[in-house]
């Protein structure tokens, strides 16, 4: 065994033992007194934080000639400020002197607690920054001094990317079977927003919290009345203390009409204009005016309107008032059906989708006149193939027409070049010349240079 260690290695081991003896101090401090053969012995290296979170999978070192120190730095964890503790727990059969060697930064005193347990005795000291600087020179923190001590040990780990010779160090000082590296806990967060795809509104917010470096899967909890656009869980990586926002896309659950039981006997109306359930003619047309919207599409009001409980509008039947608003704040509705007044005027049966307002979720009838109500989504290309972002919070672009896979954010006033209009279910999207998609919602964008 001794033939494996050259004279230079033995000299460096002796110097290391002397320095360690000085650092731990006391009459019980012992230097290396024998050489052992660590060949084949194993040491498990654990890297965790002060709350026990695993920062890296455990690694097993098998001691043999040519073995290199394992770099135990962790991205985002500054050694000089977050290194908290290092423990060496020695193999009792291959360690003539040491049982344990533990160094821990004392948060109360600011010193480094050194606890050495030998075969027949033990020793405890508090090493101040000044004491450590007497050996290592100027130090930024006591934490840095702890890292310097580990480099002197050279028993299998390093903070300075120093390959070292842990085989020779273990032969002289003793063979560790467990090495624990502990960093201070650091919290990381990721904001979550649930976005209504019909109008771009934020319906709910959440925050993912964990330790820095944590990876996991987020399972969305959908607000009442909504459903996910994509139902699969979403992976996350807290690779910084403050991470980019996660977006969950949702849409309102369609309202299913309830069929009364027993089914009432139809009554033929006396008003010849009232025909909301006219059968579809043989030519394929609906019997409604060409401007009438398809059920479950969205519209918005461009002039002041009321919502009524009946298709025949009477003042006493008003259930909501919608004053005229700026384009970005115009009231929006989803069409759920049609009806006509007693004098034959077409009405939209709608549901209010203006989140955050007192009328949100109300159902009733509004006028179908084009002078008052228009499609919420564009159905044509802009003449100059340009659109302008008008939403206060801007708009996002996405990889797909279903608005998944956020790629960029465009602030209010941004002018975007459009390639084509794309239909998605009962809404539309604009595909930009870069291939990405943005909503064609008229409260978010406007055609042309605005």
State which of 32-36, 194-198, 256-260, 281-285 shows the largest mean pLDDT.
194-198
Q: Answer whether 41's CB lies under 8 Å from 177's CB.
A: yes
As given in the structure block, the two tokens for residue 74 are 């962790």
- The pLDDT of residue 229: 86
- What span, in angstroms and rounded, lies between the C-alpha atoms of 8 and 364? 91
Cα 174 → chain centroid: 45
187-252 folds as Ubiquitin-like (UB roll) (3.10.20)
* Residue of higher predicted confidence among 139 and 285: 139
Is the predicted pLDDT of residue 1 greater than 90, yes or no? no
Q: 3 pLDDT band (50/70/90 cuts)? A: very low
pLDDT band at 8 (very low <50, low <70, confident <90, very high): very low
Amino acid 2: pLDDT: 31
CA distances in angstroms from 129 to 73, 144, 181, 251, 269, listed in the order given: 22, 9, 20, 59, 95
Which pLDDT score is estimated for 263?
59
In angstroms, rounded to a whole number, what is the distance separating the alpha carbons of residues 248 and 196? 9
Q: How confident is the model at residue 24 (pLDDT cuts 50, 70, 90)?
A: very low
**Does the pLDDT of residue 14 top 50, yes or no?**
no
pLDDT one-digit tens code per residue, 75-133:
999 999 999 999 999 999 999 888 999 999 999 999 999 999 988 899 999 999 999 99
DSSP notation for 276-324: TTPPPPTTS--SS-TTPPPTT-EEEESS-EEEESSSS--GGGEEEEE--
| Domain residue extents for the chain | 2-183, 187-252, 298-375, 386-447
Write down the pLDDT at residue 241.
94
- Determine the straight-line distance between the first and last CA of the chain, rounded to whole angstroms: 83
- Nearest by Cα to 105 from 139, 135, 129, 133: 129
Higher-scoring residue by pLDDT: 314, 30: 314
Task: For residue range 402-420, list pLDDT tens digits in order.
Answer: 999 999 999 999 999 999 9
More confident residue, 341 or 104: 104
- The whole-angstrom separation of Cα 54 and Cα 159 is 18
pLDDT the model gives residue 143? 96
**Number of helices and strands (H, E) in the chain?**
5, 29
Average pLDDT over the chain reads 85
In angstroms, the CA 230 to CA 321 distance is 35
Q: Which is nearest to 322 in space by CA: 330, 313, 311, 314? A: 330
33 or 8, greater pLDDT: 33
For residue 19, is pLDDT > 50?
no
Q: Does residue 25 carry a pLDDT above 90?
A: no
Task: Supply the pLDDT for residue 260.
Answer: 60
280-to-276, 288, 338, 387 alpha-carbon distances in Å: 11, 10, 14, 37
Question: 102 vs 56, 290, 446, CA distance in Å?
Answer: 20, 82, 66
Q: What is the dihedral of CA 127, 130, 134, 139, to 10 degrees?
A: 100
Whether residue 295 is predicted with pLDDT greater than 70 in this model: the reply is yes
Give per-residue pLDDT as tens, 151-178: 998 999 999 989 999 999 999 889 999 9
Residues 6 or more apart from 381 whose CB is under 8 A from it? 418, 420, 421
Q: Which pLDDT band, with edges at 50, 70 and 90, does 247 fall under?
A: very high
Beta bridge partners of 350: 335, 364
Give me the pLDDT at residue 291, please: 53
CA angle 31, 34, 38 (to 5 degrees): 110
**What DSSP assignment string belongs to 22-81?**
HHH-STT----------TT-EEEEEEEETT--EEEEEEEEE--TT--PEE--BTTB-HHH
More confident residue, 295 or 13: 295
pLDDT of residue 42 exceeding 50, the answer is yes
Return the closest-CA partner of residue 354 out of 331, 323, 328: 331
- 292-319 burial, b at 16+ Cβ within 10 Å, e below that, comes to ebeeebbbbbbeebbbbeebbbeeeeee
Q: What would the mean pLDDT of 349-361 be, rounded to a whole number? A: 92
Residue 349 — very low, low, confident or very high, per pLDDT cuts 50/70/90?
very high
> In the prediction, which pLDDT does 266 show?
57
Is residue 139 over pLDDT 60? Answer: yes
Candidates 2.30.30, 3.90.1200, 1.10.1060, 2.60.40; CATH matching 386-447: 2.30.30
Work out the number of other CB atoms within 10 angstroms of the CB of residue 216.
Answer: 13
**pLDDT band, residue 256 (cuts 50/70/90):** low
Number of Cβ within a 10 Å radius of residue 320: 18
Q: pLDDT tier at 345 (50, 70, 90 boundaries)?
A: confident
Q: Examine domains 187-252 and 386-447 and report if their fold is the same.
A: no
Cis bond upstream, residue 361 (ω within 30): no
More confident residue, 279 or 142: 142
């Amino acid at each position: 065994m001794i033939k494996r260690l050259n004279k230079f290695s033995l000299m460096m081991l002796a110097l290391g033992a002397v320095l360690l003896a000085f650092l731990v101090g006391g009459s019980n401090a012992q230097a290396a007194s024998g050489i052992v053969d660590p060949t084949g012995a194993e040491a498990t290296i654990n890297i965790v934080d002060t709350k026990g979170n695993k920062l890296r999978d455990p690694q097993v070192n098998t001691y043999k000639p040519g073995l290199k120190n394992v770099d135990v730095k962790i991205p985002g964890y500054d050694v000089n400020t977050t290194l908290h503790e290092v423990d060496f727990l020695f193999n009792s059969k291959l360690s003539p002197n040491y049982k344990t060697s533990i160094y821990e930064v004392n948060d109360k005193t600011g010193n480094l607690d050194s606890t050495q347990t030998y075969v027949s005795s033990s020793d405890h000291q508090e090493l101040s920054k000044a004491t450590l600087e007497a050996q290592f020179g100027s130090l930024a923190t006591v934490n840095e001094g702890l890292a310097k001590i580990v480099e002197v040990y050279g028993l299998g780990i390093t903070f300075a990317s120093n390959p070292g010779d842990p085989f020779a160090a273990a032969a002289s000082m003793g063979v560790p079977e467990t090495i624990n590296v502990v960093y201070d806990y650091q919290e990381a967060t990721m904001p979550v927003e649930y976005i209504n795809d019909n109008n771009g509104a934020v319906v709910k917010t959440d925050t993912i919290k964990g330790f820095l470096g944590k990876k996991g899967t987020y399972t969305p909890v959908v607000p009442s009345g909504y459903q996910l656009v994509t139902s699969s869980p979403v992976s996350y990586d807290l690779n910084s203390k403050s991470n980019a926002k996660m977006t969950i896309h949702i849409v309102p659950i369609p309202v299913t009409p309830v069929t009364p039981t027993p089914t009432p006997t139809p009554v033929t109306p006396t008003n010849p204009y009232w025909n909301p359930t006219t059968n579809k003619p043989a030519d394929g047309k609906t019997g409604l005016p060409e401007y009438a919207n398809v059920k479950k599409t969205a519209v918005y009001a461009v002039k002041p309107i009321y919502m009524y409980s009946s298709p025949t509008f009477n003042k006493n039947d008003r259930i909501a008032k919608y004053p005229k608003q700026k384009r970005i704040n115009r009231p929006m509705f989803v069409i759920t059906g049609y009806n006509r007044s007693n004098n034959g005027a077409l009405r939209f049966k709608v549901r209010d989708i203006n989140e955050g307002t007192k009328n949100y979720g109300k159902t009733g009838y509004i006028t179908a006149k084009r002078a008052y109500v228009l499609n919420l989504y564009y159905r044509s290309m802009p003449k100059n193939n340009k659109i302008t972002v008008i939403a206060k919070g801007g708009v996002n672009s996405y990889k797909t027409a279903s608005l998944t896979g956020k790629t960029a954010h465009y602030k209010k006033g941004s002018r975007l070049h459009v390639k084509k209009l794309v239909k998605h279910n009962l809404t539309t999207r604009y595909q930009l010349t870069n291939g990405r998609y943005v909503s064609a919602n008229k409260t978010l964008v406007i055609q042309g240079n605005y």
